[in-house]
Amino acid sequence: MRTPLLTALATAALLAGCGGGGSTSPALPGSSSTQSGSVSTTDIAQNGTDAAFDTLSTGEIDAAVGNGSLGSASTARSPQSIGFACRHRRSRTVTVNPDGSVTVETIDYYDNACTQPERDAVAVYASSNGTATVNRTITTYSLVHAQLGVRHESFAITGSSGNGSWQVQSSFYPGTSATPMSQFSHSAAINASAYTGSTGHVVNDAKSSINAEYGHQVATNATVGSDGSGDITFTGTRNGTFFKGALNALSISASPPFTISGGTQTGSGMYSGTVAFTSDGVLASVTINGTLPNGNVIAVTSSADANGNVTVSGTISNTSGTVATFTTDADGNGILTITATGVQVPIVDWHVIW
């Protein structure tokens, strides 16, 4: 079972029950005072982890276009990836609907017997006049099946999974909240030798200890390949700009390249490295290093146990020492720890829940 992060998930369930926007949490270092310039520890922890997690969540989205989890066609995927019973704590069911659309449900489990769902992703695929549309809902649960969060995604895909383009609009709702805490827009284009993308992401946090909206915009250039295990790999760089504003002050452009407007710029950053996914879309490995505003840096790595279960670990630091650390499982559920105070913040589906 996935036990190292259960305490964090239980905490996340308690926070989620408050609706994800109105509860209070312990004051974080830097919430009322700043580091050099106008960038606080909270700012660095929020924007730094968000941008790093975007690499993983959008990478999973991009890999999903070709691995069968969206119902889209791919000459590269194996027959087993189309639909399968419990294996490696994952199952997939494919249903052809009366109207010709295809529903694909992919469930990740806490246990090897596949009885305790952690992440339930349901995608409905349809195609018309050369453009495919996908509406996907991803629900994350605790071990006691409390709803920790829901992500809604809408895809528009043209071309093929090896030579095409797609746009995705995503909203994340913590717990059972009806109001999205986080939204991002993502576009990507791929051919036989290169991958390019752009992402704009905003996070509204109304908790009294934060009471701000954060955002970042990034441009991605990468190559797509495979490793010795046959995993799909994305290797490249993401260059971006960070933003902060009052609640609801930031917005994302309506079309790509996706950019942020409103608020103020808090600096720029760059991430480089490799993210790999199995043919079924499971995160296989990650190695990312990046620079953040005010001399902060971030490093993200992964490890796997004897059963192949992946743990992601990250550190944000500067010349004075460690600012924050985070640990998640392959589904993006875990904890962020602020070093100066030891305050631990839940992470659900690659989203920091302050």
User: What is the phi-psi region of residue 122: left when phi exceeds 0, alpha when psi lies from -120 to 50, beta otherwise?
Assistant: beta
Task: Provide the pLDDT for residue 162.
Answer: 74
Q: What is the pLDDT of residues 25-53, one digit of tens each?
A: 333 223 323 333 467 888 899 889 999 99
Q: What is the pLDDT of residues 144-167, one digit of tens each?
A: 999 999 999 999 999 876 788 999
pTM of full prediction above 0.75:
yes
28-32, 61-65, 193-197, 249-253, range with greatest mean pLDDT: 249-253
Residue 280: pLDDT band with limits 50, 70, 90? confident
Query: Taking CA 350 as the corner, what is the angle to CA 317 and CA 158, rounded to the nearest 5 degrees?
Result: 120
Query: Taking CA 322 as the corner, what is the angle to CA 340 and CA 328, rounded to the nearest 5 degrees?
Result: 95
d(CA 334, CA 325): 11
Give the type of residue at 291.
T
Residue 254: pLDDT band with limits 50, 70, 90? very high
Task: Provide the pLDDT for residue 87.
Answer: 85
CA neighbor of 276 nearest in space, from 225, 201, 340, 242:
225
Say whether pLDDT at 20 is over 70: no
d(CA 189, CA 105): 25
Task: Provide the pLDDT for residue 73.
Answer: 54
Q: What is the average per-residue pLDDT within 299-314?
A: 94
Give the type of residue at 27.
A
Residues in the chain: 354
Q: Decide: residue 156, CB within 10 A, 0-12 exposed, 13-18 middle, 19+ buried.
A: middle
Q: What is the pLDDT of residues 46-102, one digit of tens each?
A: 889 999 999 999 999 998 988 888 987 543 444 434 678 898 899 999 999 999 999
Residue 276: pLDDT band with limits 50, 70, 90? very high
Say whether pLDDT at 262 is over 50: yes
CA neighbor of 333 nearest in space, from 59, 112, 52, 2:
2
The helix (H) or strand (E) run that includes residue 212 is: strand 212-226
Helix residue ranges per DSSP H, the chain? 6-16, 41-67, 79-82
Q: How many CB atoms lie within 10 A of CB 195?
A: 17
Please state the domain extents for the chain.
6-352
Residue 194: pLDDT band with limits 50, 70, 90? confident
Q: Could you tell me what percent of the chain has a pLDDT over 90?
A: 68
Q: What is the average per-residue pLDDT within 120-125?
A: 96
Tokens for 311? Answer: 């743990």
Task: Provide the pLDDT for residue 208.
Answer: 82
Sign of the dihedral defined by the CA atoms of residues 147, 51, 232, 220, in that order: positive
- Distances from the Cα of 265 to the Cα of 39, 43, 257, angstroms: 10, 11, 18
